[in-house]
Chains A and B, each alone.
Chain A
Amino acid sequence: MLQDYLLPESVADAIEVLKSGNGQARIIAGGTDLLLDIADGKKEAVCLVDITRIPELKKITLEDGVIRVGAAVTHNQAAKSELINEKAFALAQAARSVGSLQIRNSGTVVGNVVNAQPAADTAVALVALGAVAEIASPGGVDLVPVEKMYAGIGKSAVDSTARLVTGVKFPARSKNQGSAFVRLAQRRALALPMLNVAVMVSLEEDRFQWVRIAMAPVGPGPVRATGAEEFLRGAAVDPEVIKKAAREAAVQADPRDSALRGSREYRLAVLPVLVRRALEMAVAQAKR
């Protein structure tokens, strides 16, 4: 039963509360998922530690070519940010896809990662962007790739009663690079995706220098299509090559049969289309 709700104004204060809470205090940011989980009895907390009043967590910054998104940055802040749109388009698109505007005004990008749902839109984009999470605890700060933040379906590697993810950071795209996010859903708002795919490409003239492809929900968290990535390394930027890579990507996908969001068979059949479309968009951006 919830007994207290605290609004610390610094990371140090928040960590201190977690420490003294001995597992009874839990971090809350936007709360759009957590509050429903608490109401359904899926998660418990005696004390909620709200981090959205901590000034440094509310910012999106660019420093030395690295973009940092603080843990209190909302989806809408990311979706509307000029910096994110210009330098990490996949994240802007993914953030724009979440829930509804009201949800995007409360829910946070980092919260989406920590909630650890398999199809979390912004997590998929962050994996493609090569993002790393900064995790603060009484012991110090750890850096963990967003890909490694999943400990199972709906289970985060971060225990929010002990540690605080303060933000995520990833390299801003350079001129020859592009990123994109595509999503298949049953409606245009208020819907979880049947599939979502984010990619980032780096080109060298008419060839792929490297590519990152993240797909979901085809595993516990965003799944990297490492085979396709390898296939594209050094390959020509060519529609047939992209198509082939897209088919290759699907080989690494292991979607479930979902009564609500499509059969495994259907999702496997359509996934290459989404990967191809994402690659085409990212390439177009890189060439601009």
Chain B
Amino acid sequence: MTTKLLKFTLNGEMTEVAVSPSDMLVDVIRDRLNLIGTKKGCGKGECGACTVIMNGEAVNSCLVPAMKAMGAAVETIEGIGGPEKFHPLQESFMDLGAIQCGFCTPGMIMSSKALLDKNVNPTSEEVREAIAGNICRCTGYVKIEEAVFAAAKKMRENQIGRDRNEQF
């Protein structure tokens, strides 16, 4: 089997890893690059636990051949924030009880981030559309939706703050 050198930007860093044509992106991320935040709940694109953002769009990394990431920009939960500076979504998920078992959380946050990156003022319908492919069996989605709205509000305020700083 031919292996190929996959070059892509992972969480802002240029990354090179040898992959085979049949490798899926989720396995490369988890097993080869040891980023275990991206979860594998079904391997068939049905649960969303493996959601990553590729070139700005949320995708199921279990249905993306690793080779499709060639030259792409991929973001995982590890890349969006951490204890030194959490992303507003991570903050609001923690503060508003949107996390229970935590298995869906990374995918859920990545789907939400893909939405808020494009639209910081989403409607309830837009939020639900964004996360409908992420199954959560613990929360009934109630606090998750609340957390997405809270993060959106924070991001809007940050934006206003930034705009103001630029003005002065």
Contacts and interface: CB of A to CB of B under 8 A. Distances in A.
B60 A48 contact: no
Interface string A14-55: 000000000000001001100110000000000110101000
A105 B129 CA distance: 12
A36 B45 CA distance: 9
Contact of B132 (A36, A47, A190): A190
B68 A189 contact: no
B150 to A, nearest CB: 21
Contacts of A102: 45, 48, 51, 58-60, 63, 111, 133
Interface stretch (A3-11, A147-155, A195-203, A257-265): A3-11
Interface string B16-41: 00001110100000000000000000
B161 to A, nearest CB: 29
Contacts of A251: none
Given A100-B132, A102-B48, A4 B21 contact: yes
Contact-size category for B: 20 to 34
Contact of A35 (B57, B65, B111, B129): B65
Given A101-B130, A102-B133, A190-B46, A4 B2 contact: yes
A32 to B, nearest CB: 5
Nearest to B110: A102
A249 to B, nearest CB: 30
B65 A101 contact: no
Contact-size category for A: 20 to 34
Contacts, number: 80
A2 to B, nearest CB: 4
Contacts of A31: 63-65, 68
B44 A5 contact: no
Given A3-B1, A102-B111, A76 B57 contact: yes
A37 B24 CA distance: 14
A1 to B, nearest CB: 7
B133 A100 contact: yes
Interface of A: 1-5, 7, 28, 31-32, 35-36, 47-48, 50, 52, 76, 99-103, 105-106, 188-190
19 contacts: A1-B22, A2-B22, A5-B21, A5-B65, A7-B68, A28-B65, A32-B45, A32-B60, A35-B63, A36-B44, A36-B63, A100-B132, A100-B134, A102-B45, A102-B63, A105-B58, A189-B132, A190-B46, A190-B135
Interface of B: 1-2, 4, 20-22, 24, 44-46, 48, 51, 57-60, 63-65, 67-68, 70, 111, 129-130, 132-135
